[in-house]
Amino acid sequence: MSRNIFIPGPTWVEPAAYQAMAREIVPHRSPEFRSAITSTQNGLKSLAGTVRPVYLSTTSSTGMMEAAVRNLIRPNKKVFHCSNGAFGEKWADISKRCGHEVLHYQEKWGQPFDEEIILSILNQGNIDALCIVHAETSTACINDLSRISKIVQNFPDVLLCVDAVSSFSMQAIEMDRLQLDVVLAGVQKGIALPPGLSICAVSQKALDRANVVPNRGFYLDFCEHEKQIQESMPISTPAMNLIWGLSYRMEQIVAEGIEARYDRHKQINEYLVDQLTNKGWNLFSEMCPRTAGLACFTPPNTITDTCDWARKLKESTGYVVDSGYGKLKGKVIRISNMGISDISELTPLIEAIN
């Protein structure tokens, strides 16, 4: 089975991963399955850059975005969102729907944040958390967590929550060093498994906050997840086969080496960008650094509608790329190198595009 899908998630899944998931069902609280949960932890901790346990939740990553605001925002406090793309905006909308007062700094898509604006909003006070996307999937841009973290550390009551969906396992997160309080992701992008399982690391500081926040519910309750993961137990009946698959993928990732994995994604992404920019495609944004697992391009002048172009590419070659998300639909293409093990997997697509 050859790879034909190059969208930014869900990504292509190798046959060996499907085989790892093709296990007979056992009781989900049995020693056998608890050992599978345990086996995921060392790899996930290394990828998140933390000594804290990493929760497994049978939700999309959106579930953990909602969990962050449900667990960490106290009554009569505000949540501060910084967005420069679709998924930062989505997280702010989630907070509003959860009934929280939202402060929202909206930068232009693909533009870096003005740190003075962030500081001025934090200085307003009464803020419980700042939520930010590390790798904005809609634009393929990276936001500098180190610089944001330095600002937030001046405000001890403000927790820093990070959507790492499109960076996790492809570039460093460094949760503990940067004093990040929530790092969330899914398995359907860099980890290259089918969708349906999210992962979330929560600092002790954030867990202490959750303990005093009322009405957290059950399924997304960080305190309940902490209690269960300490026993290598699921919070409820989980997506068992995805966890078998995650155990397999963590074994692979650890064997390769975390830094080697990051370097590989960076090299393949640079190859992708070099090949297409040399053929008249331009990066959507030159202002922000780009994620190592994805690139977003504006087309040559001869292409006026990337939806139509992507459809024709699929019809003529079988290859699937993305024609833009949200307000960029039809104006850009996004090509993912998530889950790609070697440049040779990308070469046939580039030849087809050229």
Residue with tokens 């926040």: 213
pLDDT value, residue 353? 92
Higher-scoring residue by pLDDT: 96, 339:
96
User: Per the confidence metrics, is the pTM higher than 0.85?
Assistant: yes
Residue 170 has pLDDT above 80, yes or no: yes
Average pLDDT of the chain is 96
The reported pLDDT for the residue numbered 1 is 56
CB atoms within 10 A of CB 322: 24
Proportion of the chain above pLDDT 90, given as a percent: 96
Q: Looking at residue 260, what is its pLDDT?
A: 96
Q: Could you give the 3-state DSSP secondary structure of residue 196?
A: coil
Mean pLDDT of 46-75: 98
Question: What pLDDT score was predicted for residue 115?
Answer: 97
Q: Which CATH architecture has domain 15-254?
A: 3-Layer(aba) Sandwich (3.40)
pLDDT surpassing 80 at residue 143 = yes
Per-residue model confidence (pLDDT) at position 45? 98
Query: Per-residue pLDDT averaged across 257-263, rounded?
Result: 96
Tokens of 103: 């402060």
Confidence grade of residue 102 (pLDDT, cut at 50, 70, 90): very high
Mean pLDDT of 225-250: 96
Asked if residue 87 has pLDDT above 80, the reply is yes
Residue spans in the chain of domains classed CATH 3.40.640.10: 15-254
User: What's the average model confidence in pLDDT over 13-29?
Assistant: 95
| Distance in angstroms (rounded) separating the CA atoms of residues 336 and 354 | 17
Residue-level pLDDT at 286: 86
Which of these, 232, 165, 223, 227, lies nearest to 197 by C-alpha position? Answer: 165
Q: What DSSP element (H or E) covers 55?
A: strand 54-57
Q: Which residues of the chain form CATH 3.90.1150.10? A: 258-353
- For 37, half-sphere exposure in the C-beta direction (CA atoms, 13 angstrom radius) is 28
In sequence order, which residues have a C-beta less than 8 Å from that of residue 97 and are 6 or more positions away?
Answer: none
Of the listed ranges 6-15, 126-135, 338-347, the one predicted with least confidence:
338-347
- The CATH number of 258-353, from 2.20.28.10, 3.90.1150.10, 3.40.50.2300, 3.20.20.70, is 3.90.1150.10
pLDDT band at 253 (very low <50, low <70, confident <90, very high): very high
Strands 127-133, 141-142: pairing kind: unpaired
Instruction: Return the SS3 of 140.
Output: coil
pLDDT band at 2 (very low <50, low <70, confident <90, very high): confident
Query: pLDDT grade, residue 3 (50/70/90)?
Result: confident
User: Is the confidence at residue 92, as pLDDT, over 90?
Assistant: yes
